[in-house]
Amino acid sequence: MMVKNTHKELDQAKPAQFELLKVCRDTQARRGILHTRRGAVQTPAFMPVGTQGTVKGMLPEQLAEIGAEIILGNTYHLYLRPGHERIARFGGLHRFMNWNRPILTDSGGYQVFSLGDLRRIDEQGVRFQSHLDGSAHSLTPELSIAIQEALGADIMMVFDECIPHPSTRAYVAESTARSSRWAARCKAAKTDRGAALFGIVQGGMDMALRQASAGDLIEIGFDGYALGGLSVGETAELMYQVMEWTLPLLPQDRPRYVMGVGTPENLIEAVARGADMFDCVMPTRNARNGVLFTGFGKVSIKQARYLDDQTPIDPDCFCYVCRNYTRAYLRHLYQSNEILASVLNTTHNLYYYLHLMQGMREAITTGRFRQFRDEFYRKRNPDANS
Amino acid sequence: MMVKNTHKELDQAKPAQFELLKVCRDTQARRGILHTRRGAVQTPAFMPVGTQGTVKGMLPEQLAEIGAEIILGNTYHLYLRPGHERIARFGGLHRFMNWNRPILTDSGGYQVFSLGDLRRIDEQGVRFQSHLDGSAHSLTPELSIAIQEALGADIMMVFDECIPHPSTRAYVAESTARSSRWAARCKAAKTDRGAALFGIVQGGMDMALRQASAGDLIEIGFDGYALGGLSVGETAELMYQVMEWTLPLLPQDRPRYVMGVGTPENLIEAVARGADMFDCVMPTRNARNGVLFTGFGKVSIKQARYLDDQTPIDPDCFCYVCRNYTRAYLRHLYQSNEILASVLNTTHNLYYYLHLMQGMREAITTGRFRQFRDEFYRKRNPDANS
pLDDT tens for each residue of A245-266:
999 999 999 999 999 999 999 9
| Contact in structure between B93 and B83 (CB atoms under 8 Å) | no
Work out the mean pLDDT of chain B and round it to a whole number.
94
Amino acid in position A70 = I
Prediction pTM value: 0.95
Query: Does residue B354 belong to the interface with chain A, where contact is any CB pair within 8 Å?
Result: no
Contact B54 A333 (CB under 8 A): yes
> Longest Cα pair distance anywhere in chain B, in angstroms?
62
A68 Cβ neighbours under 8 A, 6+ residues apart: A47, A48, A55, A101, A350, A354
Nearest one of A256, A260, A124 to A198, comparing CA atoms: A256
Q: Which residues in chain A have Cβ-Cβ distances shorter than 8 Å to B54? A: 333, 338-340
Other Cβ atoms closer than 10 A to A73: 28
Amino acid in position A308 = D
Q: Look up B133 and say whether it is catalytic.
A: no
B356 vs B369: CA distance, rounded Å: 12
Q: How confident is the model at residue A331 (pLDDT cuts 50, 70, 90)?
A: very high
Q: How confident is the model at residue A117 (pLDDT cuts 50, 70, 90)?
A: confident
Percent of chain B predicted with pLDDT > 90: 91
Q: How confident is the model at residue B132 (pLDDT cuts 50, 70, 90)?
A: very high
> Longest Cα pair distance anywhere in chain A, in angstroms?
62
Please report, for residues A7, B76, B87, the alpha-carbon distance to residue B149 in angstroms, rounded to integers and kept in the order given.
55, 13, 11
Other Cβ atoms closer than 10 A to A224: 23
Catalytic position from the list A206, A276, A279, A314 = A279
Contact B90 A332 (CB under 8 A): no
Q: Which residues in chain A have Cβ-Cβ distances shorter than 8 Å to B335? A: 81-82
Q: Give the distance from residue A71's alpha carbon to the nearest chain B alpha carbon, in angstroms.
A: 16
pLDDT (0 to 100) of residue A55: 98
ipTM at complex level: 0.94
Q: How confident is the model at residue B10 (pLDDT cuts 50, 70, 90)?
A: low
Catalytic position from the list A26, A106, A192, A308 = A106
Contact B328 A82 (CB under 8 A): yes
- Model confidence pLDDT, tens digit, residues B170-186: 999 999 999 999 999 99
Q: Which of A98, A333, A336 is nearest residue B325 as measured by Cβ atoms? A: A98
As separate numbers, helices (DSSP H) first and strands (DSSP E) second, chain A gives 15, 17
Q: Look up B276 and say whether it is catalytic.
A: no
